[in-house]
Amino acid sequence: MLKQVFQKYFPSPQTIQEHPSLQFLGKLLHDPNLWHLNRRSISRAFIVGVFCAFLPMPFQMVVAAVIGIMVRSNLPISIGLVWISNPITIPPIFYFTYLVGAEILDLPSRPFEIELSVEWAMTELGAIWKPLLLGSLICGVIFSSIGYIGIRLFWRWHVIRHWNKRKLQRQQRKP
């Protein structure tokens, strides 16, 4: 079943509850509804996790955890999806979001290279923060919405397929 696929690849509730950077959430992490695997909680987790992955800021996992608790999404999936933006994918993702923001603001796009250093952040980020932030928010909303709709459709397809398979098996058993 689809639940086993998600359980296999995402951390257990204890792993998340004991994570040092999430200890400030305290008892909120012990709500059993944050660990349910159903269509609603997983689709909400996709909208939260993918949106937070596009935020150009540090500590995206903490933001995803807080928003996930507020909207009652599956917490491990919300936090895990933030890793769409990792050290390898950050440069192309944020360059793309910068180009989207520059296009919407009708600004000329200027070439830049993302470096994960304080010096780069102080010099370059000051010049590109508006299109980067706008593009990140727009792309976050678009791609998280696609993820939300995609998971809901995939879940529905999977359930219907499972029902049809069971129906076929029942029909084959009848004499």
Residue by residue, DSSP assigns 33-78 as GGG--SHHHHHHHHHHHHHHHT--SS-HHHHHHHHHHHHT--HHHH
Distances (CA, A) of 166 to 40, 76, 156, 170: 24, 31, 15, 6
Distances (CA, A) of 84 to 3, 52, 101, 154: 21, 9, 20, 20
Q: Give 120-165 pLDDT, tens digit per residue.
A: 767 777 778 888 899 999 999 999 999 999 999 998 998 899 999 9
Band the pLDDT of 10: cuts 50, 70, 90: low
Q: Give 37-62 pLDDT, tens digit per residue.
A: 888 889 999 999 999 999 988 888 88
Q: Give 98-121 pLDDT, tens digit per residue.
A: 999 989 988 887 776 666 677 776
What secondary structure letter does DSSP report for 24?
A: G
Q: What tokens does 44 get?
A: 């909400």
pTM (2 d.p.): 0.77
Cβ atoms of 72 and 41 closer than 8 Å: yes
Q: According to the model, what pLDDT value does residue 53 have?
A: 94
Residue 24 has pLDDT above 60, yes or no: yes
Q: Give 61-77 pLDDT, tens digit per residue.
A: 889 988 998 888 988 88
Residue 1 has pLDDT above 60, yes or no: no
